[in-house]
Amino acid sequence: MNIQTVQSLVDRLNECCDAYYNQSNPLISDSEYDALFNQLKEMEEETGIVLKNSPTQTVGHVVKSKLTKVKHDIPLLSLDKTKDINDLVKFIQANPCLMMFKYDGLTVELIYNKGKLVQASTRGDGYIGEDITHNAKTFKNIPFTIPYQGFLRVVGEAIIYKADFQFINDNLPAGEKPYANTRNLVSGSVRQLDNKICANRNVHFMLWDVLEGLDDIAENPDSRKSKFLACIDLGFEKPTAYVADVSGLSALPDGINSLKRKAIEKGIPIDGLVVKYDSISYSRQKGGTSHHNNDGIAFKFEDEREKTILREIEWSLGRTGQLTPVAIFDPVELEGTVISRASVHNLSYLIDFDLNIGDEIEVYKANMIIPQIYKNLSGENRAKKIGVQHPTNCPCCGQPIKVEHVNNTDTVYCVNPNCDGKKLGAFEHFVSKPAMNIDGLSEATLGRFIECGWLDTFTDIYRLNQYKANIVKMDGFGVASYNKLWNAIENSRKVTFDKFLVALGIPNIGKTAAKAISQYCNGNVEQFEYLLNQDFDWTLLDDFGQVMSDSIKQWFKDTANTRMYVDLLNVLQIQKPKERNIQNSDFINKTVVVTGTLQHYTRESITAKLEELGAKVSGSVSKKTDYLIAGEKAGSKLSKAQQYEVTILTENDFLKMIS
């Protein structure tokens, strides 16, 4: 093939150049070199293929004052991620797929027009990137010109091979800190204003999609595989990560392990694999979100972790009085977002991690969402544990705290019933969306109102109108803001019994438990109070344990709580639950769990819809679960449902069943 001949000539001439200039050991005579050089030049003119590392090309030294912004005509969106191989199986079953490396580098878009590279840009936020054309021309393996006169838009990953990464770190000037990983190094390299720096870093471009063009020369314009093959003929490096169509699901683990081995053998930095539909038209039908397209899924080998330095332990006070330690550390980027804090859960976790200010720690995102500490790297080298000590007094009210030891776990509590911090947490919970849903009463606003002495009990919220003259004069407020807030307060007076129960803040009684109680009592306050007076055993309700039942009884034994309960009922109107539409429903008396992100429903709206259809919505999967409705990022609940052989529905399955 012509491309192979061009590549062979380029390799031979570069080998001769290296021997001549760097080793003072000429391999061929000057006349022989000139003959090969002329042959290459003729081949380049004949085929239109000019490789970046061709000796006929000389990249000039370019320095820019700044990187200009580039708007992506086709958004470079992310992919949904999973660590569960079952998600891959489910995805592949829908349509023939390709499986590729998930490179650990920086996404780059290349645009060619009339055979020439005209622009290279970073992904940025997917919509706006940075122009890095001056640096892309120093990449080791992209063609400057191609034998294709149409418009071509390709996307791939800028990477630095592991061997090159190690060489760069091993040859840093004395005292210079080594680079943490290949991704950070390549990201910094391609954003340099001086392209000489990038040229010395051996950056390679690894093609992984064709966004536009090649319909007229690809054997099958609807096939990604076909367009990859066309790109190879144009001078792009063959995607070594690309494998054949994944059709045999039983062979999937072997395919994954095979690609892993290839990456290790070649020293290619990857952090997972990508599966994408081969059919471009089918991919477009799948649509997507503002964050990612639905035509592919990334399979992560393990949690992405970063090293950082612990700077502080902050103690966060909740509405129950529990003080939760929160680690504050130098910001790091994980899973596409910058994080600088993570909950340490309780005192036992703090002791186990042996955390000290200034320690080097590793952090990750549990389920790719929740920031967590993975390991204390400094603690591993300490002979004796010292650790950050818990406070002896509440950071909010200054009163002594106590440590409770329950189920082998130590937890710190403020026991002062009049603590303003606890009061603020309780008010935040009361006005939250799952409870009274009062928009406009933020944490900051509630704090200011509490400081002014306007809020002591929940019923005080419904008397805030007496302070109108003061509120409208506060910073950030005015007549319009006040009216909006008061309307939200007034609208919250009409509330369903389950939301009212949630708002009370009874320990261990959340949305699911409150709905179960409300349904058992038909949303009737009088029925609920009758059961309370009869010392009803709440464990008779589905999924109610002894702890939950005892929490209800203990809460109503407190006279301050019962007084608040009665006062609230005097200012609120408990609404009867919506009539359930259970005619011809497949969900009558069925237990349903919903997990993941849905396209057509919020979690609240699908819960309401299911209850209207006669279902019982649960928050956890068990052997009693009848259906699991799984959206994007379904996580561990999907695995558990498969283990229990629960019927699994996609959102589309659910919509078809209720249509």
Which active-site residues does the annotation give?
102
Instruction: Give the CA angle between residues 203, 72, 150 to the nearest 5°.
Output: 80
Beta strand 78-82 with 292-300 is: parallel
The pair of structure tokens assigned to 474 is: 């506060």
* Alpha-carbon gap, residue 505 to 659, rounded angstroms: 37
Contact 135, 198 (CB under 8 A): yes
Question: CA torsion, points 523, 529, 531, 535, in degrees to nearest 10?
Answer: 150
User: What are the b/e assignments for 390-415, b being 16+ CB within 10 Å?
Assistant: beeebebbeeebeeeeeeeeebbbbe
- CA 93 from centroid of its chain's CA atoms: 24
Contact 112, 119 (CB under 8 A): no
Contact 317, 395 (CB under 8 A): yes
- Residues facing 312 on adjacent strands: 328
Residue for token pair 């570069």: 14
Contact 525, 499 (CB under 8 A): no
- Residue 495 CB-density burial (10 A; 0-12 exposed, 13-18 middle, 19+ buried): buried
The pair of structure tokens assigned to 280 is: 């471009």
What kind and span of H or E run contains 611? Answer: helix 603-612
Contact 43, 6 (CB under 8 A): yes
Measured distance between the N- and C-terminal CA atoms of the chain, rounded to whole angstroms: 57
Instruction: Give the CA angle between residues 284, 290, 292 to the nearest 5°.
Output: 60
Inter-CA distances, 268 with 103, 259, 260, 262, 271, Å: 8, 11, 10, 8, 10
* Alpha-carbon gap, residue 19 to 435, rounded angstroms: 76
* Alpha-carbon gap, residue 566 to 458, rounded angstroms: 11
Q: What is the 3-state secondary structure (H, E, C) of 363-398?
A: EEEECCCEEEEEEECCHHHCCCCCCCCCCCECCCCC
452 by DSSP, 3-state: which?
coil
The pair of structure tokens assigned to 14 is: 């570069």
Inter-CA distances, 293 with 57, 73, 74, 111, 296, Å: 38, 15, 12, 21, 7
- CA 56 from centroid of its chain's CA atoms: 45
Q: Which residues contact 352 (CB under 8 A, 6 or more apart)?
A: none
* Alpha-carbon gap, residue 631 to 619, rounded angstroms: 15
* Of 151, 156, 77, residue with least CA distance to 118: 151
Contact 206, 237 (CB under 8 A): yes
- Residue 358 CB-density burial (10 A; 0-12 exposed, 13-18 middle, 19+ buried): exposed
